């Protein structure tokens, strides 16, 4: 399953009560027929237990949006992989720009989390992206590649079915401003080269890189057709089962077209 061609991930952020997530699961499941993509839904902690139950025997992997790098300790308000594993969570989001911006997460903190995730053999999506100001000043590539290198520093082997990167320009997240697919593809190519340089050409070739930033079912196709883009990370549009299901449909159509 992990080696499927596209990774389609949803990030619910701080949205949906348990009841609302049950309604979502009910309405979303019909879109999973003949699915060939890896689907991850990063839901709030409070919804994990019910979403794991409701997604049993489906292609949906339920993930957590954050975790602490220790197993336990005096860290009020934090939750560890050890605790989440007990609920059946195997997928984690790391370094989302909202965590970096609103909660002061640094590359060092993100690197600690990634090291912990690797030692626990769970899957992660590492989010990287430049701010509007960095893009305007010509520092976008430098900033993104630095986040990749710092985040993955000290990771000797990359298991490409367990570590993914989502390139999410900060100015495109939740703003309705979708980035230019060619420019995104270029950036994803730079990320791939960085992975090849650091961990070998074979790893770079297999490595999955997602795009995130105001993607919906109308805009996703252009990104998914790009040579260096292997999936999408979807925020706002993942809250609506028809919209998120529509994206899964487009991704599967592309995979099926490739087989004609
Ligand atoms: C996100 O939360 O990672 C994201 C890309 O959000 P949105 O799709 O709403 O821009």
Q: Tell me the residue range of the domain where 205 lies.
A: 7-257
Residue among 11, 19, 52 nearest 244 (CA)? 11
> Residue 85 in contact with residue 122, Cβ under 8 Å?
yes
Tell me, yes or no, whether 65 lies in a domain.
yes
Q: Within 10 Å of residue 140's Cβ, how many Cβ atoms?
A: 21
pLDDT for 115 equals: 98
> Residue 211 in contact with residue 167, Cβ under 8 Å?
yes
Tell me, yes or no, whether 2 lies in a domain.
no
Tell me, yes or no, whether 140 lies in a domain.
yes
Ligand 1 atom having least distance to the Cα of 216 = 8
Percent of the chain residues past pLDDT 70, beyond the cut: 98
Give this prediction's pTM. 0.96
pLDDT for 258 equals: 76
In three-state secondary structure terms, 212 is strand
Instruction: Report residue 188: phi and psi, to 5°.
Output: -65, -35
Q: How many domains are contained in the chain?
A: 1
Catalytic one of 105, 130, 168, 243? 168
pLDDT for 3 equals: 45
pLDDT for 2 equals: 37
Q: Cα–Cα distance between 58 and 62 in angstroms, integer?
A: 11
Residues of the chain with pLDDT under 50: 1-3
pLDDT for 5 equals: 85
Location of structure tokens 């053999």:
121
Tell me, yes or no, whether 108 lies in a domain.
yes
Q: For residue 5, how far is its CA from the centre of ligand 1 (angstroms)?
A: 21
Largest CA distance in the chain: 56
Give the pairing type, strands 209-212 and 91-94: unpaired
- The residue whose CA is least distant from atom 3 of ligand 1 is 235
Ligand 1 atom having least distance to the Cα of 214 = 10
Q: Which domain CATH number covers 174?
A: 3.20.20.70
pLDDT for 4 equals: 54
């Amino acid at each position: 399953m992990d080696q499927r061609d596209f990774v389609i991930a949803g990030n619910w952020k701080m949205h949906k009560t348990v009841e609302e997530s049950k309604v979502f699961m009910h309405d979303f499941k019909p879109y999973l027929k003949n699915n060939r993509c890896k689907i991850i839904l990063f839901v709030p902690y409070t919804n994990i237990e019910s979403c794991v139950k409701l997604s049993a025997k489906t292609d949906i992997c339920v993930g957590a949006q954050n975790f602490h790098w220790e197993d336990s300790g005096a860290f009020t308000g934090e939750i560890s992989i050890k605790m989440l594993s007990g609920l059946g969570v195997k997928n984690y989001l790391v370094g989302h720009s909202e965590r970096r911006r609103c909660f002061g997460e640094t590359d060092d903190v993100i690197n600690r989390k990634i090291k912990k995730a690797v030692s626990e053999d769970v899957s992660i999506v590492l989010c990287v992206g430049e701010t509007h100001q960095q893009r305007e000043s010509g520092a976008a590539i430098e900033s993104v590649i630095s986040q990749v290198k710092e985040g993955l520093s000290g990771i000797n082997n990359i298991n490409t079915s367990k570590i993914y990167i989502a390139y999410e320009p900060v100015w495109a997240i939740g703003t309705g401003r979708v980035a230019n697919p060619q420019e995104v593809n270029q950036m994803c190519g730079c990320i791939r080269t960085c992975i090849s340089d650091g961990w070998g050409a074979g790893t770079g070739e297999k490595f999955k890189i997602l795009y995130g930033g105001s993607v919906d079912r109308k805009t996703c196709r252009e990104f998914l057709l790009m040579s260096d883009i292997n999936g999408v990370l979807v925020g706002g549009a993942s809250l609506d089962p028809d919209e998120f299901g529509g994206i899964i449909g487009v991704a599967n159509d592309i995979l099926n077209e490739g087989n004609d």
